[in-house]
Structure 1
Amino acid sequence: MHENLSLKMFVILMKASKSVTEYVKKDISRYDMKTNDFAILEALYHKGELTVKQISEAVLINAGSMTYVIDKLETKGLLKRQPCKDDRRSIYIHITDKGKQLMDDIFPKHKEAIEALFQGLSIDEKKMVIDILKRVGQP
């Protein structure tokens, strides 16, 4: 019986994850942006200057895709690369004024969309889900 509950929980978690992912993709597409573009800009917007490795770890995008997305965002003038003075192998990425203005406009709307997604849950339920998912996510 225990194993059946674990399997059922897994299936429901995967379906919920897919549903949330699709919802977020749809929301972000309203801004003519892809999920990876938004994720990188959002990380820089909230955390400030980061290395490519730090961004990759923060937004869970594989390193192979990072260069392409960063190139695209840099071409649009939304972020900029800056060599690290202490380590020539490292490159810092920072959001430009244009990127910050874009996120100043987009992020509050995105936050509202996320709030709407979870509006059916109470504060206590949200805290419980956070706690459970943190425990599930620990190796």
Structure 2
Amino acid sequence: MHHFDTSSQNVDFTQDENTILWSSFLNDSRYSSEGIGIYEGACTYMSGVYRPTEDSMMNTNTCGFNAPSRKAIYDMVMRRGENRETTYEEFADFDSRNASQVQTLTRTSNAISRPFTRPHFVHKSINK
């Protein structure tokens, strides 16, 4: 099975809801309003690669970061800042305590509406 490395929690090669990188979010009622699913087309690929939301900051810069992207950011900050790994529940607790700020940032980013260039992975390889 192919997966991008775990710092890329918003792109995967499988559409299996049990093994996709954001599988924990799919049946978590705390994230039911975010439209998290398995959408084909990601990271400049039209098919065979999947993303967790119809649109996200990583695609058009017209909406906020989706939950798997927020978790990737949180994990990276904790790994680099506190030199430790996190759990899904730790992130979900942090995310729920900061939900009002996430919604404010989402509304703000909608007003910006400047598209990003397509994503590029630098010095990253796909884990097999």
TM-score after normalising by structure 1: 0.26
Q: Could you say which structure has the greater relative contact order, defined with CA pairs below 8 angstroms and 6 or more residues apart?
A: 2
**Structure that is richer in helix per residue:** 1
- Which one has the largest radius of gyration? 1
